[in-house]
Amino acid sequence: MTVDMFRIGGDLGVRRLGFGAMRLPSEPGPAREDSLAVARRAVELGVTLIDTAHMYGWGANEELLAEALYPYVDGLTITTKVGVARSASPAGWKLDARPDVLRGQVEHALRRLRVERIELLQLHRIDPAVPLADQLGALRELRTEGKVGRIGLSEVTVTELDRAREIVDVASVQNRYSLLDREHEPVLAACEAAGIAFLPWRPVATAVSAASAEIAAVAAELNATPAQVSLAWLLHRSPVILPIPGTSRIAHLEENLAAAHLHLDPAGLDRLDRLDRLDRLAE
């Protein structure tokens, strides 16, 4: 296992720089054809971890990935998330992690992705209206039945992670985290201590600030882009971090994946490490 690899759950080997499929348009037309091409190019470039969710198009994103990539190459992991349902609310969605809803969404995902087992299934959010033991118990039953390989969580606190680990083995956590957004630093530390994969969503810092200007300066010195510097910093930050940047353009995809080969020297890393403090001081 090389340094750019990680074993999710201790046994599922993936390359650390993955791809988030949320931004891929799935409606019929030229944009969908572009989406299919982006997904295929990601795999051509060596991506072995692709992230999707029931919420992304209410299953349409899962169907898109299957159309683009099935039959899947050996070693490709498509992780999906469940626990969010459509709603008549202004947001258009609501948390719903009742056991029957979770099971139904998993069954739909299996059909849409054309697989018999989802190697990594993540609970999109903990539903405060449903006992945690019921939510995770349903996912554990699906794992026992062989329909799920490993269980992950998304947007959790350290306390919630600890409670969850008392009920099931947690293989991954997907929280918002980036060079300029380190709110979930304690969760990352807990994951690193336990060997749990940490998949930061929104991994590329986009804020217009003194800190982002410094990122641009570091990038210019390396003949790289700010996005590449942000991703390279994440890969260096912790061995359990598996960034999943998303895009709908092949050029942007190729730019992101090239970050795996970007070398940040100690001086550059020190400048980047201090940016979070700079941003907070400016607030």
Is residue 193 one of the residues assigned to a domain?
A: yes
Whether 2 shows a pLDDT value over 60: the answer reads: no
Whether 283 shows a pLDDT value over 50: the answer reads: no
What is the per-residue pLDDT for 280?
Answer: 53
Measured over the CA atoms of residue 130, residue 132, residue 134 and residue 138, the dihedral's sign is positive
The tally of domains found in the chain comes to 1
Sequence-distant (6+) residues with CB within 8 A of 142 are 102, 103, 106, 121, 148
Is residue 232 one of the residues assigned to a domain?
A: no
Rounded Cα distance, 82 and 55, in Å: 7
Is the pTM value of this prediction over 0.85?
Answer: yes
pLDDT digits (tens, 9 = 90+) for 208-242: 566 788 899 999 999 999 999 999 999 999 999 99
Contact present, 93 and 87 (Cβ < 8 Å): yes
CATH number, domain containing residue 165: 3.20.20.100
Is residue 25 one of the residues assigned to a domain?
A: yes
Is residue 263 one of the residues assigned to a domain?
A: no
Locate 279 and state its tokens.
């941003």
Average pLDDT over residues 245-249: 96
Is residue 219 one of the residues assigned to a domain?
A: no
Average pLDDT over residues 73-101: 96
Burial grade of 8 (CB within 10 A; 0-12, 13-18, 19 or more) = buried
Is residue 266 one of the residues assigned to a domain?
A: no
What is the per-residue pLDDT for 277?
Answer: 65
pLDDT digits (tens, 9 = 90+) for 153-198: 999 999 999 999 999 999 999 999 999 999 999 999 999 999 999 9
What is the per-residue pLDDT for 212?
Answer: 82
Residue 153 has φ and ψ, to the nearest 5°, of: -125, 165
Whether 282 shows a pLDDT value over 50: the answer reads: no
pLDDT digits (tens, 9 = 90+) for 97-123: 999 999 999 999 999 999 999 999 999
Rounded Cα distance, 277 and 204, in Å: 17
The boundaries of the domain holding residue 98 are 5-201+241-246
> Any idea which residues carry the catalytic annotation?
56
Sequence-distant (6+) residues with CB within 8 A of 269 are 233, 236
Is residue 230 one of the residues assigned to a domain?
A: no
Q: Is 67 left (phi over 0), alpha (psi -120 to 50) or beta?
A: alpha
Whether 278 shows a pLDDT value over 60: the answer reads: no
Is residue 275 one of the residues assigned to a domain?
A: no
